Amino acid sequence: QVQLVESGGGLVQAGGSLRLSCEASGTIFSRNRMGWYRQAPGKQRELVAVISSGGTTNYADSAKGRFTISRDNAKNTVYLQMNSLKPEDTAVYYCNAYYSGMNSWGKGTLVTVSS
């Protein structure tokens, strides 16, 4: 069973930075497409960024130019570097692993951006 544990969330002022981490276990990490999603209060969960097993990245328009997703297969970890944070980035951020039709989710980490 795949387990994903996020860390790195917290409270930051607008314009600041945070780096989220997600450590995976129970899977051959390098095979998975990894992603970060977020869910703000009263809104649906939305894609932030994904990185394929080969390292190809895709970003939501809201994340382009500010966020960077990366992975370290040796550490079974995916990262999300978030810069120039805005109050509208406030959400619970979830890590996702996808492989061969199977999706796995972490429990999320809260990011709060104050104005």
Query: Cα separation of 66 and 83, whole Å?
Result: 5
Over residues 75-96, the pLDDT tens digits come to 999 999 999 999 999 999 999 9
Taking residues 48-58, what's their average pLDDT? 97
Please name which of 30, 66, 32, 65 lies closest in space to residue 50, comparing C-alpha atoms.
32
pLDDT at 19: 98
Amino acid making up residue 107: K
pLDDT at 93: 98
pLDDT at 32: 96
pLDDT at 69: 98
